[in-house]
Amino acid sequence: MALEKARSLARLNIFTSLASEISQSLTPIAIKDNIATKLLPTTCSSYALSNYISPFQATVIDLLEDEFTVVGKTNMDEFGMGASTTFSHYGPTLNPMYPNERRICGGSSGGSAAAVAAGIVPVALGTDTGGSVRQPASYTGILGFKPTYGRISRWGVVAYAQSLDTVGILGKDVDIIEKVFTKLDKHDPKDPTSLGVELRSRFDSKHGNNKKLRIGVPEEYVLGFDPKVSKAWQQCLEALSQDHEIVPVSVPLIKKTLAMYFTLAPAEASSNLGRYDGIRYGTRSDSDKDYYAKTRSEGFGEEVKRRIILGNYNLSSDSYKNHFLKAKLLRRALKQQFDEVFNQPNYVTGSDPNANGVDFLLTPTTVGQAPTIEDYDAQSSTHGYTQDVLTIPASLAGIPAISFPWEVEGAKIGLQLMGQCGDDYNLLRITQETMSLNT
């Protein structure tokens, strides 16, 4: 059924490759095309890797293959650089929520989001560096979960910015997301960023099913939202206030997170993408003259080249001192500010809980609904960089965050819950409870 439906919806351009056959006894799943699989190409939606088939598969694939069957690899913004799934060598993916319009589905995990939203699979894997799971989930009316950084193995995942990259899960409901997360929530000795066994054992202290929670509303998130986004956020807060306490909070450095992100992430990317030279990996230029330059110029799309140039600049001598190092210090301070907001300890950093803090934070996921491809393309590249302004803070802090749909006036609006590092299962539980209030 899943393969047939995927083929029938080829016009949406959701997949870069499909399996020839799948097991009928296992649950179908879609995999973002930057996660290594042995039986299907891993292209990162780039011409540079258009013929690449990995000799090994990612740890996350190994952990899932006893219960899940891979339907195909999903389209994405090239190497994860984008928030629209229009920056792909294979063309844009269309949003299934708008069958009569050409709207973006967000990115960079747009193909994975579209596969779930279209009903091809109940669940899909993506990666989230600055919001690449949560933002497309918001635009397509599904759930998108970014776990605590280091909780899911990155081994076999093509790196964009390794201090931020997190394998995430997109699904139609909380139950399927939790099922997949439980299987992937394992220490992996092959991944140097994987959290250790002892540390994991201290996570997810029970809040208690009947506990009155404190839900924080960061004042820095009060922006110029689309009216439906504002209405959904307000309705959700009012519904939660019946059983829980709503608390205004402040994380001042949130205002600087966009600048932090686009200083740090492109710098890491410029280093990571240096390996795609046509000698060790990737498609090669036919030219004998200026071989290296032409291979990279021909292999990468315009958005990737923009970010490589930005990253190289951020690592240049003057910018490194004046911007890159400052961004790293600000990121550390941001993590401390988040720790001061939560009433749960951060076992990763060793910070103590704030007795007067909150259990979770609730915000919108995006400032508006999915724009048309034409409107998105007409905007400047710097405007596109603001698409993740509400999701980047959780990525920089390494905390778990999830986007879930809240229906208002016939539209599914993405709202975002964030929790303390390691509080992933409790975050999923409160998401389930919150969604049940949308009546």
- What is the sign of the dihedral through the CA atoms of 178, 180, 186 and 192? negative
Alpha-carbon span 338 to 348, nearest angstrom: 13
In order of 81, 154, 193, 403, the CA distances from 160 in angstroms are 8, 11, 14, 22
The verdict on whether omega for the bond into residue 108 sits within 30 degrees of 0, i.e. cis, is yes
Alpha-carbon span 215 to 362, nearest angstrom: 7
Residue-by-residue DSSP string for 241-298: TTTSEEEEE--GGGGGHHHHHHHHHHHHHHHHGGG-SSSSSS---S-STTHHHHHHHH
Residue with tokens 């803090």, as numbered in its chain? 357
Grouping H, G, I as helix, E, B as strand and the rest as coil, residue 373 is: helix
Catalytic residue ranges: 32, 108, 132
**Would you say 122 and 28 are in contact if contact means Cβ atoms under 8 Å apart?**
yes
Instruction: Name residue 411's beta-bridge partners.
Output: 408
- What is the sign of the dihedral through the CA atoms of 215, 220, 222 and 226? negative
Question: Pick from 192, 142, 143: which is nearest to 165 by CA?
Answer: 192
Residue with tokens 């689309």, as numbered in its chain? 226
64: left (phi over 0), alpha (psi -120 to 50) or beta: alpha
Q: What amino acid occupies position 310?
A: L
Alpha-carbon span 75 to 331, nearest angstrom: 31
Alpha-carbon span 297 to 243, nearest angstrom: 57
What's the N-to-C CA distance of the chain in angstroms?
31
